[in-house]
A and B are shown apart, each in its own frame.
Chain A
Amino acid sequence: MTAMLEMRGVSKSFAGVQALRDVSFTVEAGQIHALVGENGAGKSTLMKVLSGVYPAGSYDGSIVFDGEERRFRDINDSEALGIIIIHQELALIALMSIAENIFLSHPPSRFGVIDRHAVHRRTAELLAQVGLRESPDTLITDLGVGKQQLVEIAKALSKRVRLLILDEPTASLNEADSAALLERLLAFREQGIASILISHKLNEVARVADRITVLRDGRTVDSIDCRTERIEEDRIIRSMVDRDLAHRFPERSAEIGEPVMSVENWSVYHPLHPERQVIKNVDFKLRRGEVVGIAGLMGAGRTEFAMSLFGRAWGTNISGKVRLDGDEADLSSVPAAIAAGLAYVTEDRKQLGLILAADVRKNVTVASLRKVSERGVIDDVVELKAASDYRTRMRIRCSDVYQATGDLSGGNQQKVVLSKWLMTDPKVLLLDEPTRGIDVGAKYEIYSIINELAEAGRGVVVISSEMPELLGICDRICVMNDGAFVGEFDKDDATQEKIMRAIMRNVRMSGSRADDGVARAGGEAR
């Protein structure tokens, strides 16, 4: 077979961070090519280069499609050649019908008037092709996620697709919908349509892929031809995670003491789909001075777990018990949770963590105004001193505490958020992706701060998608999948391969698993 697409020596960097290094990637006509790798390995960046989201000139290397070098200026250029990308977050308009969505950008029309009969007829044909039995007039909002995914594929077919790129298409699908989707890909292969499948689910990949490419730290580290070689899961996992960890984390010396928080039988339901149990009766323990990591894939329920603990800031129909220092804690609202000694540092600093237009001082004190006020009146001298103290202690680099937080770098913004929560003097800090979007130097500083917190006898929970980070800073790592803890490893015992295997094993099981939810498959689980 001949190569349909050839990406040669692609490199791309963002503000000094190398996201892709000399990646070469080939897709043959009628091939299903799986792309696997950790979060942040560069899979999405590579696909954005291919689809023209990052225009020619913003990266090094070349893209050859149908034997000609192509320089895409935007996504329209790549779509014109039949390269269609379907993102993880579906780009459908909820209150429009299936037909309107499929022909949104190029409806069949005469003199600018949409030919409604043609739209209807062609939509019906496309839906039959993807095996979706719905009327073209059905609104998107009335469809489940699996069917929406099929509408996206029908939309791609309407554009005469030749290379279909699917970014984690089955992440939010159940077993049956996933299987149906994979069947479609196999059917497309027969018609000569090639696919690139980005997925964490190795069993799916093994089932349909003709070739598997593994990316790590922006490099191609392995490529397996499934028609000639046997697929070894261990080999894939090892190539996904192997990397040097030395000297990226500060020394630790915290003493682990008494239990500070214990969560029993914690259960949370989805706020919009109240029948969906997101956190499935989990138990969790944390000691003073201990740093516990929670590993897992996106959507595993880690953020939902932390936010539901923090004054029920997420979810509905929440049940379970939380003890802080042995006493049952009232976590019925955010103010109550703060008073009880909980702090939550959000993964979405800009949307949920900071008031960007307000200055450093106001952001630092907003959660503990009581401490700088008397009978409801703020003492601005006391407030200013408190804010300045944190600025010095946390090494926040700003012109003064009157600088707007929106003007600071990501690392310094994160230090402002940490200051805000330190000022509430919490017993337990829940840190959700504390180093996301922060450069390497600032990461080291954040790790040092986490160590200091533990040394001061606080309990720290770190949710992170970067496994080396968890291994570098945690005393214990729990693995969460599908709303339950499925594995637990001690610092000395944990390796990236073990964690990745715990995640992968259970990803494969999810869906087919009975929904009693308490299943704990990890060998090392309590």
Chain B
Amino acid sequence: MTDKTVSLPESPRHSGFIKNNLRNYGMLLSLLAIMLFFEIVTDGTLLQPLNLTNLVLQNSYIVIMALGMLLVIVTGHIDLSVGSVAGFVGAVAAVLMVRYHVGYPIAFIACLLLGGAIGAAQGYWVAYFKIPSFIVTLAGMLVFKGLALAVLQGQSLGPFPSTFQKLSSGFIPELFPSAGTLYPTSLLIGVVLAFVLVLASAKSRAREQAHGIEVEPYAFFVVKSIALAGAVLYFTYLIASHRGLPNVLVIMTALIALYGFVTLRTVVGRQIYAVGGNAKAAKLSGVKTEQLTFLTFVNMGVLAALAGLVFAARLNTATPKAGLGFELDVIAACFIGGASAYGGVGRVGGAVVGAMIMGVMNNGMSILGIGIDYQQVIKGLVLLGAVCIDVYNQRR
């Protein structure tokens, strides 16, 4: 019996491997195609260092919230309140720092805690009282939109202390003497990152191989590694030739790595997927389903707060309208990235790619001078199309 698993023929496995993984890379290929399209029709404006930096800054808060939203959607729920929560937390931050002159670190931490508390308040009803998350967070959306108005008394409040602005508009400090137009520290970080990524995947492949586990074909692995390293290096080269790595990009990358790791490799992550896949079966397997659902909402609240802070720092002012409609972009990012509305399915990488597809389209269409009206039409159609393709693929 043991022999049987080892001595299966090699050849059909490889084609199967590529076929199985095509779906995972499908969205990434779509992103590349969309980027290529806009790069051409905007005569190279899209990938100019200045525009690329802007692209990152403009979409950072969507990506940050998409990480939390993905977990919420994977457990089979939804959070409609994230835009309002982000706006409300930004307003509170302004009141603390501008009106009461609270120090930046204390205000920052207080705002994240506030976000967590908001998430806990909503998650409590969803997880333990089994009230549909759609309703709870719809209520939350109204409540926090109203509270943001109340806290700001209908006025914009700013400007923030300059240290706080650095959260969004700052770049990592330059350690080396500047060499022309390039920022060497940022470039160095990119090189190290590319090296570490390739090394890590080579190590894990070697380890799996040593244990007799089926691995991807060698040629596939090499191509993948070169593409990965190349993309990272090219991207950091572009970023480094403007003003270096933005602070928020560093935060974002760290969060993406963290959530990717949590979802793929940890017990908690696995259990979250089990809850979304079949809550009853998960519960009978000893998974604490209510507690996990509750925690995903707490987590969502903290990330919404962080996004609200990033957005407020970027505008350098808190306005009652901040956060308006963010939830739509965030939810769309997750579904474009392949998450299932029924729960149990979705990847961090997918949600990030989904957010970037939305971001690139926003940016590209703005450069082309397409009005906000048709931008929305096109974005809506892309969302519908992406989900249709996904459903079609699953039926096949």
A positions within 8 Å CB-CB of B: 310-311, 313, 334-335, 337-338, 344, 346, 351-358, 362, 366-367, 369-370, 373, 376-378, 380-381, 384-385, 388, 391-392, 395, 400, 420
Contacts and interface: CB of A to CB of B under 8 A. Distances in A.
A313 B284 contact: yes
B284 A354 contact: no
Contacts of A335: 286, 288
A357 B267 contact: no
14 contacts: A334-B285, A338-B286, A356-B278, A357-B277, A358-B274, A358-B277, A362-B270, A366-B271, A366-B282, A378-B265, A378-B267, A385-B211, A400-B5, A400-B214
Given A353-B281, A357-B344, 18 more contacts: A310-B284, A334-B285, A335-B286, A352-B280, A352-B284, A358-B274, A362-B274, A366-B285, A366-B287, A369-B267, A369-B270, A377-B266, A380-B265, A381-B207, A384-B213, A385-B211, A391-B5, A395-B1
The 6 A-B pairs at the shortest CB distance, nearest first, are namely A355-B277, A367-B285, A335-B286, A355-B278, A369-B267, A338-B286
B61 interface: no
Interface of B: 1-2, 5, 207-208, 211, 213-214, 265-268, 270-271, 273-274, 277-278, 280-288, 344-345
A362 B285 CA distance: 12
Residue of B213, B267, B271, B286 with highest tally of chain A CB at under 10 A: B286
Contact of A346 (B284, B286, B345): B284
A79 to B, nearest CB: 34
A495 to B, nearest CB: 35
A77 to B, nearest CB: 32
Given A335-B286, A366-B274, A400-B214, A352 B1 contact: no
Contact of A378 (B266, B274, B277, B278): B266
Given A338-B286, A384-B213, A400-B214, A366 B1 contact: no
Contacts of B270: 362, 366, 369, 378
Contact of A334 (B1, B2, B278, B283): B283
Given A355-B277, A381-B211, A334 B266 contact: no
A117 B267 CA distance: 62
Residue of B5, B281, B285, B344 with highest tally of chain A CB at under 10 A: B285
A367 B265 contact: no
A126 B344 CA distance: 49
A378 B207 CA distance: 15
B393 to A, nearest CB: 14
A286 to B, nearest CB: 21
B10 to A, nearest CB: 14
Contacts of A338: 286
Contacts of A420: 285
Given A335-B286, A335-B288, A367-B286, A381 B266 contact: no
B293 to A, nearest CB: 16
Residue of A351, A357, A392 with highest tally of chain B CB at under 10 A: A357
A334 B286 contact: yes
A340 to B, nearest CB: 11
Contacts of A380: 208, 265
A420 B344 CA distance: 19
A369 B80 CA distance: 32
B1 A381 contact: no
A392 B4 CA distance: 9
Contacts of B208: 380-381
A146 B280 CA distance: 30
Nearest to A393: B1
